[in-house]
Amino acid sequence: MTNKIEAKETLSEVKSNQPLSGKQKLLFAMFCWGVQSWSQAGNFKANGYDQKYRDARKAMHTGLILYGLGILLFILLLL
The domain ranges of the chain are 23-78
For the chain, what percentages of helix, strand and coil (3-state, to nearest 5) are there? 80, 0, 20
pTM for the full predicted model: 0.80
Residues 6+ apart with CB under 8 A from 55: 19, 20, 24, 25, 28
Across the range 30-40, mean pLDDT stands at 87
Identity of residue 55: D
* pLDDT band (50, 70, 90) for residue 49: very high
